[in-house]
Structure 1
Amino acid sequence: MVAPLLQTHVDIDAPASKVWALISDFRRMPDWSPQCRWMRALGPLRAGTRTFNLNRRNRMFWPTTCTVVEVIPEKRLAFRVNTNGTIWSYELEPSGRGTRVTESRHAENGVSAISNLSVNALLGGTENFERELLKGMNASLANIKAAAERG
């Protein structure tokens, strides 16, 4: 069974404007995410914009598309993975001298049957894959933190 919510956060010693510039540039997603190899928006960043993505796990590659569902500059960015219906989001909030960034994967309504089948047949099962996703989310946030805090 798919976890309804995977979530992690990091505190970044940088203003929300700098962090937002990094996460809202989908072309840079491969710089953050260990699974994403390529991501392109098919239009300006706004609700309804679609993206085309290429993901990788070891030697396996697969394409996905997403639809941006929410854009609140310097506060929240969320997109739905069209294949499985999950919503991925980044939320930014003030934290001390900087910004807390929370990355979430929402699957409160489960995932599509084809996604379940694929994860079980090709990715080692839901529990294993979700462990990898959480590890990847932590790596993504660490990479965003490093970029935001650099000079």
Structure 2
Amino acid sequence: MATAFKALLERRITVDASPSVVWDIIRDIRRMPEWSPQVISVKLREPDGDIRLGSTFTNLNHQGELEWITHGEMVRYEPEKEVAFRIAENHTIWSFSISPHGAATVLTQRRETPDGISQFSLELTESHLGGQQAFTEILEAGMEQTLTAIKACAES
């Protein structure tokens, strides 16, 4: 029997850069492989198009030697505030939001599950990714790495 998943994963970091600098980094989902330890590549369905609400893309992800493809769609895109995408295979919504904090910016990454996680994804997590608790710990550590890498990029 699968263990329960966490409905919300959330991490935040303060970045010593303006919201516009941070926004210029996070708004392009194609840059995710630069920061995320799980994402190998992101390809937009319309490669020369601007990223906007409704944009669709394909991710190649990995955990150890295991690789898998997911399909995403931008479900929120508010310039200098938030970018969020829904993953078709597991129903999760991943987002980055920014808010000014004096001369700095607070950057928050979330994984939400407003419709739960697909049974298919839950079963694969149990059978191939070490189970819900172990995979959640990997995701949370990956979120920390992702935010730290975005911070370093924005502050350089």
Q: TM-score, normalised by structure 2?
A: 0.93
Paired residues in the alignment total: 150
Name the amino acid aligned to 1:37.
I
Superposed CA deviations along residues 26-46 of structure 1, whole A, max 9, x for unmatched, are 221111100000012224211
Q: 1:113 aligns with which of 97, 102, 119?
A: 119
- Native 8 Å contact 1:2 1:107 kept in 2: no
What residue number does 1:9 align with? Answer: 12
Note if contact 1:5-1:106 (Cα within 8 Å) is conserved in structure 2. Answer: yes
Q: State the Cα distance separating 1:97 from its structure 2 match.
A: 1.1
Residues 51, 66 of structure 1: 8 Å contact kept: yes
Counterpart residue number, 1:148: 154
The sequence identity of aligned pairs, in percent, is 38
* 2:73 aligned partner: 67
Mapped to 2, the partners of 1:49 and 1:81 lie a distance apart of: 12
Where structure 1 has 5 or more consecutive residues not aligned to the other structure, the ranges are none
For residue 88 of structure 1, the aligned residue among 81, 94, 114 is: 94
Write the deviation string for residues 59-91 of structure 1: whole angstroms up to 9, x where unpaired: 111011101001001101000011000000011
Residue ranges of structure 2 left out of the alignment (5+ in a row): none
Q: Which residue of 2 aligns with 1:136?
A: 142
Q: Where in structure 1 do 4 or more consecutive aligned residues deviate above 4 Å?
A: none
Q: Distance in 2 between matches of 1:139 and 1:59?
A: 19
